[in-house]
């Protein structure tokens, strides 16, 4: 995620950006809440669980873990490393944000009531934004690893552990534990050093492995700082372009628009804004905005820009128009708005698109 991520936290604004950061957080909450209300079957692996007292990112992170724990699909990772290594570790070259990425630990020495430890070091994002799970072959569920809290408000080192018993592990019969990782914050690099305590007083370490947290490239064009919309006036266009620059397909690409505006006595409601999206062969199509359940904001899940997964190298384009209806309350003169892009309900990009509301010019 690009904002506070429950256990996954990232510091963003200073005073000048405080209002924008708050608007984005509120917008993400609106988006998640609307998605939960309007889409009965969100993407596999994620459920919207955001409530009035829950940060949107925390809700997404919790939803990701809960849905993941319920997955019954058993992975079958191959043994990694060499026969001479007592323990070895593997991870994919990229960790696309919004997707789980496979990883594994292979043991070639007997372990009785031992412990596997992953020491992680990050650059570009906090280790508190990293989620790691192991597949439990007995229960057929993904389980969170135990974590040691990082130091400070922006930790770049962390520790993940889990218990293990593999009495028959050897060079001839390696024992492999399936893992998976996900960075929920922002791009960067991650180094992981795995070790195992065999329960008999020995500790073995694997060579460190490094991977890169990535996300699709998103650009927003056509919306300038200081954009002014007149009540009952012309709409302004904005284009959101998503290019999948990662090495993995995004199976459930989704984008949303959110807005919030309040004056001394009134607030904007869905009837006060007109959101349209361009559809090939149809032209401009009205996209209904849904009121937020916890505050007077609104959001809309945009119509799909691609059919099926967004493959590596593929591009999705969302063309939007936003207008203020003539019925909008006169005491509302500014509005915080923005767009988010996600895989299912797991956002990996958001940008503020604020605007000023003015009365129509006299004829």
* pLDDT reported for residue 152: 77
Average pLDDT (94-115) is 96
Kindly state the tokens that stand for 244: 């999948």
> Parallel, antiparallel, or unpaired for β 355-358 and 228-230?
parallel
Rounded to an integer, what distance in angstroms lies between the CA atom of residue 122 and that of residue 189? 6
Answer whether residue 299 shows pLDDT above 80: yes
* pLDDT reported for residue 292: 81
The 10s digit of each residue's pLDDT in 301-319 is: 999 999 999 999 999 999 9
* pLDDT tier, 73 (very low <50, low <70, confident <90, very high otherwise): low
* pLDDT reported for residue 89: 98
Answer whether residue 169 shows pLDDT above 50: yes
Average pLDDT (97-110) is 96
* pLDDT reported for residue 162: 98
Q: Which domains does the chain have, with CATH numbers?
A: 74-214 (2.60.40.2550), 216-358 (2.60.40.10)
Q: What is the DSSP string of 42-98?
A: PPTT------TTS-HHHHHHHHHHHHHHT--PPP-PPP-S-TT-SEEEEE-SEEETT
Give the 3-state secondary structure of residue 267. Answer: strand
Across the strands, what pairs with 298?
259, 291
Q: Quick check: 184 and 10 in contact, CB under 8 A? A: no
Give the 3-state secondary structure of residue 232. Answer: coil
In the chain, which residue ranges form alpha helices assigned H by DSSP? 18-38, 56-69
């Amino acid at each position: 995620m690009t904002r506070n991520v429950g256990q996954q936290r990232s510091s963003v604004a200073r005073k000048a950006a405080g209002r924008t950061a708050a608007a984005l957080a509120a917008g993400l909450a609106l988006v998640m809440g609307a998605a939960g209300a309007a889409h009965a079957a969100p993407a596999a692996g994620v459920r919207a669980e955001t409530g009035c007292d829950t940060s949107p990112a925390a809700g997404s992170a919790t939803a990701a873990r809960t849905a993941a724990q319920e997955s019954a699909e058993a992975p079958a990772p191959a043994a990694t490393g060499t026969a001479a290594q007592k323990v070895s570790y593997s991870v994919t070259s990229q960790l696309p944000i919004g997707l789980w990425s496979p990883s594994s630990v292979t043991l070639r020495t007997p372990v009785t009531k031992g412990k596997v430890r992953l020491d992680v070091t990050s650059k570009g994002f906090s280790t508190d934004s990293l989620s790691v799970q192991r597949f439990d072959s007995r229960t057929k569920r993904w389980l969170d690893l135990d974590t040691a809290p990082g130091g400070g408000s922006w930790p770049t080192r962390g520790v993940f552990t889990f218990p293990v018993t593999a009495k028959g592990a050897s060079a001839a019969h390696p024992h492999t534990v399936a893992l998976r990782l996900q960075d929920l914050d922002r791009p960067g690099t991650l180094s992981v050093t795995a070790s195992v305590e065999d329960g008999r007083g020995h500790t073995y370490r694997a060579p460190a492995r490094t991977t890169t947290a990535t996300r699709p490239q998103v650009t927003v064009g056509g919306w300038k700082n200081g954009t002014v919309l007149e009540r009952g006036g012309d709409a302004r266009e904005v284009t959101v372009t998503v290019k999948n620059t990662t090495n993995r397909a995004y199976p459930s690409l989704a984008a949303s628009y959110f807005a919030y505006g309040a004056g001394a006595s009134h607030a904007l409601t869905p009837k006060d804004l007109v959101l349209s999206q361009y559809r090939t062969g149809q032209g401009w199509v009205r996209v209904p905005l849904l009121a937020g359940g916890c505050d007077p904001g609104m959001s809309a899940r945009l119509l799909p820009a691609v059919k099926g997964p967004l493959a590596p190298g593929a591009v999705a384009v969302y063309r939007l128009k936003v207008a203020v209806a003539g019925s909008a309350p006169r005491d509302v003169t500014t509005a915080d708005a923005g767009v988010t892009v996600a895989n299912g309900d797991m956002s990996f990009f958001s940008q503020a698109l604020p605007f000023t509301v003015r009365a129509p010019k006299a004829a």
